[in-house]
Amino acid sequence: MRRTLKTALAAALGLVLSASLVVVLSGQAHADEPTSLVALHSGKCVAVVGGSTSDGAEIGQWPCDGDTNQMWDLREVGNGYVQVVAQHSGKCLDVAGRSTADGARVLQWSCHSGPNQQWQLRDASNGQVSVVARHSGKCLDVSGRSGEDGARMQQWSCHGGTNQMFGFDRDGEGGNNNPALPGLYADPNVAFFEDRFWIYPTTDGFDGWSGTQFKAFSSPDLVNWTDHGVILDLGEDISWADRNAWAPTIAERDGKYYFYFSGGKASGDTRKNLGVAVADSPAGPFRDALGRPLVSAGSFGGQMIDPAVFTDDDGQPYLYWGQGYAYQVPLNGDMVSFDRAKVERYRPSGYNEAAFVFKRDGRYYFLWSENDTRSENYQVAYATGPSPIGPWSRKQVILRKDLSLGIKGTGHCSVVQVPGRDEWYIVYHRFAIPNGDGTHRETAIDRLEFNADGTIRPVTPTLQGIDPVHR
Ligand code: FUB
């Protein structure tokens, strides 16, 4: 399991992080256990390429697997410096040719007393360290900020980028738990059914968000996810839509699962509609419940997208949706109809899309996304109210980008409670890291915490994600 740097350092290596930016060794000459070095931007581990034991073997990043060519001993050499020694070869992390230039390769070499094999671990103040070569003052750096397997290590002038930050993971099993789902998935809707957590996202990575397939993922602990494959495919399964499979939500009633989604046509009237499909299992397969949209384009102002369903403790379900405006209405008991006369419009300042409602301690929370999903400023704000349909009182933005970590475009969230506990998680998308944008997004999970007065604390978006939830 991934561990935070400070915990891992203290426990595994006997190191103490000083109040200054420099790591001070506790006086132990040797770390008692090897550790992996996890690149923050990629979640991949620093490894001796090919498991070579030769002098000059290159160092790259690779998915963490705990093999000995990914495990390193940190040996104190005095004055706050360490040698970083590959467990499988006994050789040292070394700047090739003792170069002081940007871009000089980092290799393994038989250990000697040269300063190009001595490194200082500097606290990067976000739970990570930069690894600085003594002879050059330059930082260990993943070339080109690459997220690819095998990307090589070099030294580069220290700039504080996430490809120069590393965490320690003593058991070597892996680095970051964000993104939570592997691949490009946006608009995640989280739920808890049949003793598991489920996420229903938009399948992302298509120009114009033109994907057609919805998938489901389930997990016992919010970290280890099973891909259940395609549960609904517009075009094949839906007569009135053949693209723009966007932003679904799900609700259970009387043993049936109702899946609400947006869809449009590739030609003709391309405006989006809201549909509803039904299945006997949260993993589908789902079939169109109505054979027509539940909410057709043009029925109300704005786009008919981004549905969310909240079911109150008395069993009454409510449907929310809309881009431009938010709409809210009680759903009928059949889950596939509502009284149009009861539809209410809500438009808090900053509202764009992606309404989501949950309840805690008798208080209702209405979350939404602000700005455009293509903007790095896409963010989440919220209001509270005394009922599932308000009246709502706008609070503040709780989730936004963190450029120091390369996290952008944090929005379209949903929230889940660990059953029986006052423990909450927010599931949201962000631009994929690296190189993502508004159509290449990935799903992340972080803690959602509350103040004593019930207000939501600003969420810290992380690259590390959460530890597995034990129930
Ligand atoms: O994924 C397509 C659209 O992007 C969603 O409907 C919006 O909420 C935005 O995230």
Closest ligand 1 atom to Cα of 244: 2
Single-letter code of the amino acid located at 100: T
Token pair belonging to 215: 């998938």
| CA-based nearest residue to 356, from 286, 255, 426 | 426
Partnered with residue 105 across adjacent β-strands are: 154
- Regarding the beta carbon of 443 and ligand 1, being less than 6 Å apart is answered no
Residue 369 CA: nearest ligand 1 atom is 8
| Domains of the chain: residue spans and CATH | 5-169 (2.80.10.50), 185-448 (2.115.10.20)
Name the phi and psi angles at 317, rounded to 5: -90, 150
Residues annotated catalytic, as ranges: 187, 353
Beta bridge partners of 78: 81
The answer to whether the beta carbons of residues 119 and 83 sit under 8 Å apart is yes
Ligand 1 site, residue 274, Cβ cutoff 6 A: no
Q: Cα–Cα distance between 138 and 164 in angstroms, integer? A: 10
Strand segments (E) across 334-440 = 344-346, 353-360, 363-370, 379-385, 393-399, 411-417, 424-431
Cα-Cα end-to-end distance for the chain: 17
Residue 354 CA: nearest ligand 1 atom is: 8
**What's the CA-to-centroid distance between 231 and ligand 1, angstroms?**
19
Name the residue of 209, 325, 430 whose CB sits within 8 Å of the most ligand 1 atoms, as the mutation to test its pocket.
209
| pLDDT one-digit tens code per residue, 76-95 | 999 999 999 999 999 999 99
The model carries a pTM of: 0.76
Which residues have CB under 8 Å from 82's CB, separation 6+?
25, 74, 75, 76, 118, 119, 120, 121
pLDDT at residue number 65 = 85
The CA 312 to ligand 1 mean position distance, Å, reads 26
Pocket lining: 353 vs ligand 1, CB cutoff 6 Å: yes
* Residues linked to residue 335 through DSSP beta bridges, in sequence order: none
- Burial class, 391, CB count within 10 angstroms (exposed 0-12 / middle 13-18 / buried 19+): exposed
Residue from 185, 213, 246, 249 whose mutation best tests the ligand 1 pocket (most atoms within 8 A of CB): 246
Measure 202 CA to ligand 1 centroid, in angstroms.
8
pLDDT tens string for the chain (471 positions)?
Answer: 443 333 344 333 433 333 222 333 322 223 457 888 989 888 889 999 999 999 999 999 998 888 999 999 999 999 999 999 999 999 999 999 999 999 999 999 999 999 999 999 998 766 679 999 999 999 999 999 998 999 999 999 999 888 999 988 766 555 689 999 999 999 999 999 999 999 999 999 999 999 999 999 999 999 999 999 999 999 899 999 999 999 999 999 999 999 999 999 999 999 999 999 999 999 999 999 999 999 999 999 999 999 999 999 999 999 999 999 999 999 999 999 999 999 999 999 999 999 999 999 999 999 999 999 999 999 999 999 999 999 999 999 999 999 988 899 999 999 999 999 999 999 999 999 888 999 999 999 999 999 999 999 999 999 889 989 988
Find, among 381, 407, 442, 471, the residue nearest to 199 by Cα.
442
Run of H or E including 7: helix 5-8
Instruction: Report the half-sphere exposure of 60 (CA within 13 A, side-chain side).
Output: 15
Residue 291 CB-density burial (10 A; 0-12 exposed, 13-18 middle, 19+ buried) = exposed
In this structure, which residue's CA is closest to atom 1 in ligand 1?
246
Inter-CA distances, 266 with 59, 234, 334, 436, Å: 47, 11, 30, 24
Is 321's C-beta closer than 6 angstroms to any atom of ligand 1?
Answer: no
Q: What is the spatial distance between Cα 231 and Cα 347, in angstroms, rounded to a whole number?
A: 32
Q: Which atom of ligand 1 is nearest to the CA of 378?
A: 10
Quote the CA–CA distance of 159 and 416 in Å, as a whole number: 37
SS3 content of the chain, % helix, strand, coil (to 5): 10, 45, 50
User: CA 77, CA 121: separation in Å to the nearest integer?
Assistant: 13
